[in-house]
Amino acid sequence: MKTLTRTRLIGYLAMTVCVLGYGGFGVALLLGKMDVLSTPHSMLLAAVAAVIGEIGLWVGAACLGLTLFKKRKALLDKLFRRKPTAVVEG
């Protein structure tokens, strides 16, 4: 079984924040359309939720992309019979 490194864990948690942020964005817009919240309040809430979702997206993509880069670098080192570089996990 594969262990979950700190970088990958942060990436998955950030993607969860992304989904929650964009979900909150949609809910805030829906509540504004249904006149449950006033329009300025729903737009403000939607904007904050969208920013949270966008931050989660960028952090998650960076962390998960970094783990893919490390794997690919190790594979290329093995393929070209190079001395593997020291990779610090976590």
pLDDT per position as a tens digit, 56-83: 999 999 888 877 777 777 777 777 777 7
The label of the residue with tokens 């249904």 reads 34
12 touches 74 (CB < 8 A)? no
| Among candidate residues 28, 22, 27, the one with its CA nearest the CA of residue 55 | 22
52 or 88: which leads in pLDDT: 52
Beta strands in the chain (DSSP E): none
Residue 43, pLDDT above cutoff 60: yes
Q: Which amino acid is at 57?
A: L
Distance (Å, whole) CA 59 – CA 19: 13
Residues 2-40 have pLDDT tens digits of: 778 888 899 999 999 999 999 999 999 999 999 999 999
